[in-house]
Amino acid sequence: CSAKGYFVHLIRGGGFGAEGVSKATTDAVVLSCVTILLFDFIITSVLL
């Protein structure tokens, strides 16, 4: 997720400055949430 902030200049349509940081932060949080939910589902499926 830190790569989203590091490569903010490469994100298409992300812009620079506050707009780019905002988009990178939102994308990183969404990616983190989806990843956590996916792994939670997999772990729960294995344990039950």
Mean pLDDT by 10 residues, the chain (48 residues): 59 68 82 93 94
Query: Residues, the chain, total?
Result: 48
Whole-structure pTM value: 0.65
pLDDT score for 14 = 56
pLDDT score for 12 = 62
CB burial of 24-41 (b: ≥16 within 10 Å; e: otherwise) equals beebeeeeeeeeeeeeee
